[in-house]
Amino acid sequence: MSSPEPRLPRHLVIPLLGSEAELLGVGTYGDTWRSGDRAVKILCGAPTDPRRVTREVEALQRVDNPHVVRLYGLRRLSISSNDYQALEFEFVPGGDISERITAKDWPTVEQATSLLIALLQGLQALHESGSIHRDLKPANIALRSRSWALPVILDLGLAKQLDASTVTIYPGLLGTPAYMAPEQLRGQPAHKASDLFAVGVVIHQLLLGRHPLYDPSESYELPDMLRLIESGIPPISLEYPEALRRVVTRLTSVQAYRRGSTRSNLQILGLG
């Protein structure tokens, strides 16, 4: 796969971020660059309401959890006589879960359990700040030092409310829609429980060695996706520990209320 091109030209961005700056990714709202030990997301994509950005930043700066990427703050970059807002995050080395899935590098049950606990703890901190991620997926979960036990939730706070009518999964690309909760697919507002659904699907996929619902070689339109989800995500193997099975089953429930809160799921896993 070829590297994406940034929206803003490299020769204009690199002088502002440092000569060693490198492009990490291009998302809906902007381009993310690495600059030393920081990741800088320049909001040059879909229009954002500056007040909403400020509000989100204030909320996310209150989050202090090792499993949520640290947001240092908001800065302004002047590029080609245009002002852009830019979010400065901690850069987490070690790659993300999507890279491990591509490499078919699966965790053990113990590693998956540690990952699940850490993700729930991270989400708990995020939700307590009043934020909902809305776009959790393997590509948004970094593994610090390549450790399954040290996940870090990335790309916070500005996930777009997707237009359900355009949701499609394309062959070879299990992106955002493949981890979306049924209520999001229906175009309803995302809840905390929507983030929990995504975590459940990710863990299920890592334990199963494939996505529990979608075949990556197929394409799926919205009605197919809803039908698959509503028919129920198959339970994980009985050979796994009961608490793990119970939590994954809860998290991947069609009904949002059956997924429970981060707190109750952590309790089932023996924490809290």
Partner 1 sequence: MSEERNTNDAQWELEEEHWSEFYPDEVDEMLEELRLERADEDDKPQHEEIMELANEHAWMFIRGSRSGTVVTDLPSGSITREGQVPPIPTRDAALDGRRSILLYHAGGTRFAQGRELLTRLHAKNGASLGLGVSVSIPRHSAKKIADVFDCSVAALRIADPEAFWFDQEVLQLASTDPETYTHQQTGIAAARRAARLKEFAPYLHRLSDNYFIDEVVEAQRAAGANLILTSGRALSTSHPTRSIENLIQEGDHVHSLLSTNERMALNITLPLDFITNESLCDALLAELLEREQFDVWHVRGQWRNNEDGAVLKDPTALKFYKNLSNLAEEEGRVLLLPQSGLTGWYFLAHGARGFGTGTSMAQQAFLQHRPFARQPGIPNVQRIFERALLHPVEFTFHLSLRDQPKYVACDCRWCEAIDATQVYNRTTSGWHTLYNHGALTASARGSDSTGGRRAAVRKILRRAQAFRNDQNLLGKNDPKHLSNWSELL
Residues noted as catalytic: 135
Q: How far is the CB of 152 from partner 1 (least distance, A)?
A: 24
Task: Count the residues of the shown chain that bind partner 1, applying the rule CB under 8 A.
Answer: 12
Nearer to partner 1, 67 or 192 (CB): 192
Q: Contact between 260 and partner 1 (CB under 8 A)? A: yes
Choose which of 192, 199, 205, 249 interacts with partner 1 (CB under 8 A). 192
Taking CA 90 as the corner, what is the angle to CA 88 and CA 96, rounded to the nearest 5 degrees? 115
Q: Contact between 204 and partner 1 (CB under 8 A)? A: no
Q: How far is the CB of 196 from partner 1 (least distance, A)?
A: 10
Contacts of 108 (CB under 8 A, 6+ apart): none
Tell me how crowded residue 38 is: count the other CB atoms within 10 A of its CB.
17
Instruction: With beta carbons less than 8 A apart as the criterion, state whether 93 and 144 touch.
Output: yes
In DSSP notation, 212-245 reads: SS--TTS-EEHHHHHHHHHT-PPPPPTTS-HHHH
Q: Contact between 195 and partner 1 (CB under 8 A)? A: no
- Of 76-84, 110-118, 145-153, 251-259, the window that binds partner 1 (rule: CB under 8 A) is 251-259
Nearer to partner 1, 144 or 191 (CB): 191
Q: Contact between 41 and partner 1 (CB under 8 A)? A: no
Q: Contact between 256 and partner 1 (CB under 8 A)? A: yes
Paired residues of 141 in beta bridges: 153
Spatial distance between the Cα atoms of 53 and 157, rounded to a whole number of angstroms: 8
- Of 50-58, 96-104, 204-212, 260-268, the window that binds partner 1 (rule: CB under 8 A) is 260-268
What are the backbone dihedrals phi and psi of residue 194, each rounded to the nearest 5 degrees, phi first? Answer: -70, -40
Spatial distance between the Cα atoms of 167 and 217, rounded to a whole number of angstroms: 17
> Of 23, 85, 81, which is closest to residue 48 (Cα–Cα)?
85
Choose which of 16, 139, 193, 199 interacts with partner 1 (CB under 8 A). 193
Q: Contact between 257 and partner 1 (CB under 8 A)? A: yes
Nearer to partner 1, 2 or 257 (CB): 257
Q: Contact between 261 and partner 1 (CB under 8 A)? A: yes
Q: Which pair of tokens denotes residue 161?
A: 């409310």
Q: Is 160 exposed, middle or buried (0-12, 13-18, 19+ CB in 10 A)?
A: middle
Q: Contact between 198 and partner 1 (CB under 8 A)? A: no
Q: Contact between 122 and partner 1 (CB under 8 A)? A: no
Q: Contact between 183 and partner 1 (CB under 8 A)? A: yes
Tell me how crowded residue 217 is: count the other CB atoms within 10 A of its CB.
7
Q: How far is the CB of 48 from partner 1 (least distance, A)?
A: 24
Q: How far is the CB of 267 from partner 1 (least distance, A)?
A: 9
CA neighbours within 13 Å on the CB side: how many for 203? 33
Q: Contact between 264 and partner 1 (CB under 8 A)? A: yes
Binding site for partner 1 (CB under 8 A): 183, 191-193, 255-257, 259-261, 263-264
